[in-house]
Amino acid sequence: MTTARESSTGRRTDQDGPTVVRRSGPVLLSEVAAHAGVSLATASRVLSGSRSVGEPHRGRVLAAAQELRYTPNAQAQAVARGASNVVGLIIHDVLDPYFSSIAGGVMREVEERELVVFLASTHSDVDRELEFVQTMRSHRVRALIICGSRTTDRAHNERLVHELEGYAAAGGQAAVISQDRLGTHAVVPQNRAGARELGRELVRLGHRRFAVLAGPRGLLASRDRLTGFREGLAAEGVDTADLQVLHGDFTREGGERLAAQLVAEGSTATCVFAVNDVMALGALAAFRAAGVRVPEDVSLAGFDDIAPLRDVVPSLTSVRLPLAEMGARAAQLALDTEPQTTSQTVRVDAEVVLRDSTRRLA
Amino acid sequence: MTTARESSTGRRTDQDGPTVVRRSGPVLLSEVAAHAGVSLATASRVLSGSRSVGEPHRGRVLAAAQELRYTPNAQAQAVARGASNVVGLIIHDVLDPYFSSIAGGVMREVEERELVVFLASTHSDVDRELEFVQTMRSHRVRALIICGSRTTDRAHNERLVHELEGYAAAGGQAAVISQDRLGTHAVVPQNRAGARELGRELVRLGHRRFAVLAGPRGLLASRDRLTGFREGLAAEGVDTADLQVLHGDFTREGGERLAAQLVAEGSTATCVFAVNDVMALGALAAFRAAGVRVPEDVSLAGFDDIAPLRDVVPSLTSVRLPLAEMGARAAQLALDTEPQTTSQTVRVDAEVVLRDSTRRLA
DNA sequence: CTGTTAGCGCGTTCAA
DNA sequence: TTGAACGCGCTAACAG
């Protein structure tokens, strides 16, 4: 066996052996063409499946490609073709079932079209969100999907809109899953209406004194759900002036902390509404730890109806959102809409699902 | 406002207004250069942060880039530079907490290096796994991470190895999280040892009659855990000849179905080992539905110690795997190893965590 | 139907 | 330090 070093150009070493092909770096189309004895153009045509290929040649190119283990350079293809086949997806956290369910829906739709997805998680950091949008722009993603509640942070919103305008101007399609505030396509869960209906149902169960475990004040999803919940209570004749509202993180830990606080304060609420399910799960754990029984001592309701809810006892009352479908819908909006079209908004209904965690009061 | 149509080339329309720039498609580096009155090369230098830049120029380029909202074309950069900044990640399912935890770890490591991740989910379909490896190769990912148990499917393994050899030959780095069978770097959870220790602990709790809810027969993770479990029982003097083993899907539904079957058959086992936590969760639901109490009527243990376990009652005995760290470690192996180096294997210990779902027998 | 040629957007060498 | 020119791997006009 020869120990001949390869030429510094990193190209193939010419040897007299049969087909001993040592090389560094991927196989090139030009090599396939040469190996098949045709021009680069014809090789490109048969492998790109474009059109018109002579049968003596066609087969030889295919054979050469297979033998050489040729894999086209998607990046170069995208540059030459002027359009990439990747979709960007920005979420807060893969570990959060809310986001992973949506991601699942997006990916199903994306993979169906033989595209690839860039996934980035902001961990609720607005600066990272902005960075990722830039990164996605840079990679010329043909569609960009941003999910996660918008906030009242005007400065951030403006920068984001600015960035998205640049993206759109360059021919990119974007869709958000949350509130319709960015001038892009939008899949908008009916947070307010859903929470309103939940409020009404809970009052109908006989509850009058409520506490709400809310997210950060600037988070629109939390805000909308709180507003809707208030409306629901009011619609059923409950005075919401003294509604107890605690603000914390939009996470399991947030819910845990707030519920503990509720217990410590000796809240007299008979029913607690956590504005999302992960917070509700945290609250459930805190109540359990404090010896407060759900629903005997206090009723508990969440929002989103995430998958892990299936495995908790008592089963948790929630407001169902078709998460996977929302993701899929957003992907459709971004992928199947003609550029230069006015952006569309898809409203998604939320449905109250009463379960064991909310009891009927005597 | 003029309604002048853009030229068919889609380039900028020359107008006399101040800086009215209508164009289609992204802003180009050449435009930034022109706008700054410098050559393309200098513009490239300052924006790529390479070196030596005159201060009259440097500033003007930066200003022009900002004004024009220039975003470099990462694809073209990758082609010109000969190296991309994307990492490929192949998992089975984003919705499965096992995989999303690992994905979280991978992404943390990847984002720390200012890289991007391509995420693909196979839904346990080996053909899709192979397709995705090709796709990732095609996109010239600088690192590829494949997670999910290997199988005994020789044909598939060979094709996969073949594909990965091509990837490696082209200079790519790959790491698997599962078994070390692909000739790549590997992060290998000690499934067998973990299950063995679990078996011993359960016997020490007084159990003698066990049932195992296993995954598909060809799945190595399931097989290793079953083997280890057997060894653990045997080590404590339990005869495993008549160990009851049921095979099903490696999913929550699989666990649910098998547990229901166990109940229907009137199993006399006092302790059930589900080879992974999602199966255990499904089993728990099935037992609950059948009126079989855990752990009073039967003890139950799982494997992986996934996050959602926190919220189930009774708390589930499991074998802890540091999922996020495993993902991070795999990313490190693939990203921080010099190409042409022999592939490394990192063994990851699994730790038994006894909780309420497994009771001590009288 | 095929090969030649000119791009795609950018990095980088080479002189100047 | 700067700019002209070439190269990256591939697609798509254009002729033949």
| Cβ neighbours of A281 in B, within 8 Å | 311
Q: Give distance CA B53 / C1' D16 (Å).
A: 48
pLDDT digits (tens, 9 = 90+) for B303-326: 999 999 999 999 999 999 999 999
* Residue B120 Cβ under 7 A from any strand C atom: no
Query: What's the pLDDT score for residue B3?
Result: 29
A34: Cβ–Cβ under 8 A, 6 or more apart, which residues? none
**Closest CA relative to residue A173, chosen from A327, A329, A333, A328:** A333
Question: Cβ within 7 Å of strand C: which of A 70-89?
Answer: 76, 79-80, 82
Q: Which residue is nearest to nucleotide D2 (CA to C1')?
A: B42
Query: Shortest CA–C1' contact from B56: which nucleotide?
Result: D1
Tokens at A194, concatenated? 């859903």
Query: What's the pLDDT score for residue B23?
Result: 56
Query: What's the pLDDT score for residue B56?
Result: 83
Q: Is the dihedral of CA B148, B151, B153, B157 positive or negative?
A: positive
Pick the residue from chain B with its C-alpha nearest to A340.
B24
**Backbone dihedral region of B353: left (phi > 0), alpha (psi from -120 to 50 degrees) or beta?**
beta
Tokens at A119, concatenated? 């996934």
**Closest CA relative to residue A191, chosen from A349, A353, A358, A354:** A349
Q: Which residue is nearest to nucleotide C6 (CA to C1')?
A: A80
Tokens at B115, concatenated? 């890289």
Query: What's the pLDDT score for residue B360?
Result: 97
Q: Say if residues A119 and A89 touch (Cβ distance below 8 Å).
A: yes
* Residue A139 Cβ under 7 A from any strand C atom: no
Global pTM value = 0.92
Q: Say if residues B297 and B267 touch (Cβ distance below 8 Å).
A: no
Q: Which residue is nearest to nucleotide C3 (CA to C1')?
A: A39
Task: Answer whether B267 touches A (CB < 8 Å).
Answer: no
| Cβ neighbours of A75 in B, within 8 Å | 75, 78-79, 84, 139-140
**Closest CA relative to residue A135, chosen from B270, B72, B223:** B72
* Residue B139 Cβ under 7 A from any strand D atom: no
Q: How far is A30 from chain B (nearest CA, A)?
A: 16
Residues within 8 A of A (CB atoms), B 217-246 only:
none
Cis peptide before A314 (omega within 30 of 0): yes
Nearest-CB residue to A117 (from B23, B78, B119): B119
Contact: B94, A94; criterion CB under 8 Å: yes
The kind and range of the H/E element at B320 are strand B318-320
Interface test with A, best of B28, B100, B256 (most A CBs within 10 A): B100
Task: Answer whether A103 touches B (CB < 8 Å).
Answer: yes
- What's the rounded Cα separation, in Å, for the pair B101 and B278? 13
Walking along chain B (362 residues) 10 residues at a time, the average pLDDT comes out as 30 36 76 93 88 84 93 96 95 98 98 96 96 97 97 96 94 96 97 98 98 98 98 97 96 98 97 98 98 98 98 97 98 91 95 98 85
CB pairs under 8 A between A and B: 145
| Cβ neighbours of B123 in A, within 8 Å | none
Q: Give distance CA A50 / C1' C12 (Å).
A: 33
Query: Shortest CA–C1' contact from A81: which nucleotide?
Result: D11
Query: Shortest CA–C1' contact from B33: which nucleotide?
Result: D3
* Residue A140 Cβ under 7 A from any strand C atom: no
Query: What's the pLDDT score for residue B230?
Result: 98
Sorted by where each starts, the structural domains of chain B and their CATH numbers stand as 4-72 (1.10.260.40), 83-189+324-348 (3.40.50.2300), 191-321 (3.40.50.2300)
- What's the rounded Cα separation, in Å, for the pair B302 and B311? 15
Q: How far is A241 from chain B (nearest CA, A)?
A: 33
* Residue B83 Cβ under 7 A from any strand D atom: no
| Cβ neighbours of B284 in A, within 8 Å | 311
Q: How far is A68 from chain B (nearest CA, A)?
A: 9
Nearest-CB residue to B116 (from A120, A285, A310): A120
Please give the torsion angle defined by the CA atoms of residues A36, A38, A39 and A40, in that order, rounded to the nearest 10 degrees: -20
Q: How far is A78 from chain B (nearest CA, A)?
A: 7
* Residue B80 Cβ under 7 A from any strand C atom: yes
Residue A214 DSSP label? E
Query: What's the pLDDT score for residue A23?
Result: 57
Contact: B75, A140; criterion CB under 8 Å: yes
Q: How far is B225 from chain A (nearest CA, A)?
A: 24
- What's the rounded Cα separation, in Å, for the pair B41 and A279? 53
Tokens at A15, concatenated? 């040897």
**Closest CA relative to residue A175, chosen from A324, A325, A332, A350:** A332
Task: Answer whether A171 touches B (CB < 8 Å).
Answer: yes
pLDDT digits (tens, 9 = 90+) for A138-160: 999 999 999 999 999 999 999 99
Q: In which residue ranges of chain A is pLDDT below 70?
A: 1-23, 50-51
The residues that bridge with A311 in the sheet, in sequence order, are: none
Task: Answer whether A138 touches B (CB < 8 Å).
Answer: yes
Task: Answer whether A339 touches B (CB < 8 Å).
Answer: no
Nearest-CB residue to A308 (from B93, B116, B308): B308
Residues within 8 A of A (CB atoms), B 110-129 only:
111, 116-121
Query: Shortest CA–C1' contact from A77: which nucleotide?
Result: D10
Q: How far is A237 from chain B (nearest CA, A)?
A: 35
Contact: B71, A27; criterion CB under 8 Å: no
The residues that bridge with B187 in the sheet, in sequence order, are: B177, B346
Contact: A73, B312; criterion CB under 8 Å: no
Task: Answer whether A59 touches B (CB < 8 Å).
Answer: no
Contact: B307, A95; criterion CB under 8 Å: yes
* Residue A65 Cβ under 7 A from any strand D atom: no
B258: Cβ–Cβ under 8 A, 6 or more apart, which residues? B213, B246, B247, B248, B274, B279, B283
Question: Cβ within 7 Å of strand D: which of B 12-41?
Answer: 38-41
Query: What's the pLDDT score for residue B31?
Result: 94
Q: Give distance CA A89 / C1' D5 (Å).
A: 39
